[in-house]
Amino acid sequence: MIRAALLACAAILAIPAAAQTAPTGPGSYRDRLPQDEVIYFLLPDRFENGDPSNDRGGLTGGPEVTGFDPTSKGFYHGGDLKGLRNRLDYVQALGATAIWVAPIFKNKAVQGPPGHQSAGYHGYWITDFNHVDPHLGTDADFKDLVDAAHARGMKVYMDIVVNHTADVIEYRECQGRECPYRSVADYPYQRRGGPQGKAINNGFAGDTVQTTENFARLTRPDYAYTPFVPDAEKAIKQPAWLNDVTVYHNRGNTTFRNESSTKGDFSGLDDIMTENPRVLAGMIDILGGWIDRFGVDGFRIDTARHVNPEFWQAFVPAIRQRARARGIPNFHIFGEVALHDVDAGGLARFTRVDHLPAVLDFAFREAVVQTIAGSKGTDQFETLLNGDALYEGGFETAMQLPTFTGNHDDGRFATEVRRNYPQASDAEVMSRVMLANAVLLTLRGVPTIYSGDEQGFVGDGGDQDSREDMFASKVPQYNDNRLLGTKTTTALAHFGQNNPLFRQISTLSRIRLSHPALTRGREVLRAREEQPGLLAVSRFDPATGREILLAFNTSAEPITRNVQVELGSRSFDTLAGACAATAVAPGSVAISLPAFGYAICEAAL
């Protein structure tokens, strides 16, 4: 059965060349809506090394100072913006039209106690919000990258952080150990160290009164802990106002629940008090400046759920206006809300209350993992798609949600398959991964490919274990991984275009981009089952109404089913897989799929 599935997947690779031409080009990229893109996400440090002279970021010393150790998965490896610029041909050949780049701001090179140190290669430990980290290059290198991408008709999305900075602030009460969260009730702002403590911050009305006048009364930051900054780092942050300890919450580590979710330090990182109007204005100025200087096309917002809603309610319209003034009418903003549930209610709240235009679609990822990498029925997708009505704007917003099957935090989809089916052959794992790719690249949302997935990377887990190098790696924990579609390892560079996964993604990307039904078309669930088996969805061209039927088999056995279609859909052309030439009766078409197979069937006009 698996062999049949592989043959079906291979069939899509024989699409005529004309069908593989993406309908985009220089001069038209600004007009594309967010849902018109295929996104490629990467960490610059792990992608390509274009300039070895910046590997140590201008610092001298060992890894504990420079952060550079290409043999350790937790340190800088040497990838940079010049390397990415040099590989735009590769990214475009995959079919991607937008590049989401992990944070490029200057980071604290190394954090952590001796013996437990790691580096800021990932970009989330920011000290200077105004400039590129020297490990990754210069501001001029970033401008060159953005200009080169735009010349190809490709967009560039920046990964931004407003929730926290690098870990610079320390607390006298708990030096050398973690500081537990201290709540507003137990440690109110107007008392020093608890309700019975000395009166401080007289007249401060609390962080819900978000006016400049009110926050001017918050002069003492020692209500919960006694924060201080070591002398060597007192001026490390840029812009300079970020060195003021009073613009941070200073309440200890978040538990990721309740009040601490927006006021606690994320794993010790300095949690910015985003309720303060000074912070709001400052962040709009900082991040708007990157739009002004470089003309970037969108922001992915890290840890968006850990920022108070009022901040986003003001930040989003201000940034969109900044982008429009720069001639960027379709600036894409999407927040990270890491909720692992097929039910979209938790995600949708951030579009309704926080007014985020879009969020990363963790619900989509969960549905794919539970069904194709798991054993649940395809009715999980009914729950997912029914949830589209919950987003602010409904389906119009759901179409703009970046969808994904794996990432740099949760791990790769292939890893999930191997974990859940340890006895599965490589052929079966490949079939399941290809099926997940097909779902990703045809259903609503903005398909987001994580760098390395197209080369068959299979990591050991999430976080550092899923951040393999695309260039030749020196990390033993990466180089012992068994990849898909190749007998090579990550000890060799992987920028070829022959891996079956690269070829599949490239083909499906071009099918998607050449059919408006798959980028902007409404969606109708045609069939789902309470066990592994058929999932069928119709999408419709927004201009002509032409139907495209999508059919997927999540089971290990071949299936044949009759599927409802529009009465006018009498005959079909095959875009991928195998489709019946004609309907069996008005409103019904027979679908036969091999194990883990899929088909994309376009009704004739």
Q: Give which of 571, 575, 569 is closest to 551, Cα–Cα.
A: 575
- 3-state SS class at 246: helix
- For residue 302, indicate whether it is catalytic: yes
Alpha carbon distance 360, 337 (integer Å) = 7
In 10 A of CB 422, how many CB atoms? Answer: 7
Q: To which residue do tokens 């001796």 refer? A: 114
Q: Is 531 left (phi over 0), alpha (psi -120 to 50) or beta?
A: beta
Q: What sign does the CA torsion over 163, 165, 166, 167 have?
A: negative
Binning the chain into helix, strand and coil, the percentages to the nearest 5 are 35, 20, 50
Packing angle, helices 426-440 and 500-513, rounded to 10: 20
Angle at 581 between CA 575 and CA 585, to 5 degrees: 125
Distance CA 58, CA 326 (A): 33
Distance of CA 209 to the CA centre of its chain: 33
Report the distance separating Cα 134 and Cα 385, nearest Å: 43
The rounded distance, in Å, linking the Cα atoms of 486 and 457 is 10
Q: Contact at 8 Å (CB) between 80 and 19?
A: no
Q: 86 in helix, strand or coil?
A: helix
Quick one: three-class SS letters along 221-239?
CCCCCCEECCHHHCCCCEC
DSSP labels for 38-64?
-EEEE-GGGT--S-GGGTTTT--SSHH
The residue annotated as part of the active site, out of 302, 410, 428, 602, is 302
Residues 6+ apart with CB under 8 A from 316: 333, 355, 356, 357
CA distance 119 to 373: 32
Beta bridge partners of 298: 157, 332
Task: Report which DSSP code applies to 326.
Answer: T
Catalytic residue among 36, 270, 336, 388: 336
**Residues designated as active site:** 302, 336
